[in-house]
Structure 1
Amino acid sequence: MKINKVAKAGTLESNDIMIMVMPNDKGGVELQLESIVMKQFGNQIKSTILEKIKEMNVEDIIIKAQDKGALDYTIKSRIQTAIERAM
């Protein structure tokens, strides 16, 4: 699947994550992550985001994520919503 436009999902409130997706003209998947729990869970958050993108067969995407302590199911739902909005 291809991303056609910029889209967002989520909030910057506690226990949530703000996801912004946009087309990547250079190709491939690019992830930019900021998190208040980066030291403890940064690798897990990145893995969860990339896993959901792969599951949805999305190519050529830039993802900007600002995490405020969201759980995995919240991260997955925000990614899915942002991608669906961008199509």
Structure 2
Amino acid sequence: MKIIKHAVAGTVESSDIMITVQPVETEENTIELESSVEKQFGQQIRKVITEILEKTGVHGVAVTAVDKGALDCTIKARMITALHRAAETESYHWKELDLWND
């Protein structure tokens, strides 16, 4: 999946996460996280974000996440939505990516 533009998914409401993705000049992915529970769950949030980037084959993107206590399934859904919006894809291949089985 090639990221071609800036995109956002989610909100800053309680129990949600706002994910912003944008293409960068390098092939490296970066993750910037703001969360009131970062000390407790920051590592897990980054792990979920990284897992989605790897499974979708995305490289060269900057991810900004503003977390308000989202569960892993919400983080996955917001990441997938933001990436598809940023890639301007019109179809989703959920089963092929095997994103929901841990």
Q: Within 5 Å, which residues of 2 pair with 1:1-87?
A: 1-87=1-87
> Distance between the aligned counterparts of 1:82 and 1:62, measured in 2?
12
Which of the pair has the greater relative contact order for Cα pairs under 8 Å at 6+ separation?
1
Give 5+ residue unaligned stretches, structure 2.
88-102
What amino acid maps onto 2:8 in structure 1?
K
Q: CA RMSD in A?
A: 0.6
Residues paired across the two proteins, number: 87
TM-score, normalised to structure 1, is: 0.97
> Distance between the aligned counterparts of 1:9 and 1:33, measured in 2?
15
Give 5+ residue unaligned stretches, structure 1.
none
Give the Å deviation of 1:26: 2.6
Q: Which ranges of 4 or more aligned residues in structure 1 deviate by more than 3 Å?
A: none
Q: Per-residue displacement from partner, 1:27-68 (whole Å, max 9, x unpaired)?
A: 310110011100110100000100011011101000000000
Q: Identity, % of aligned pairs?
A: 51
The answer to which structure has the higher strand fraction is 1
TM-score, normalised to structure 2, is: 0.83
- Larger of the two Rg values belongs to structure: 2
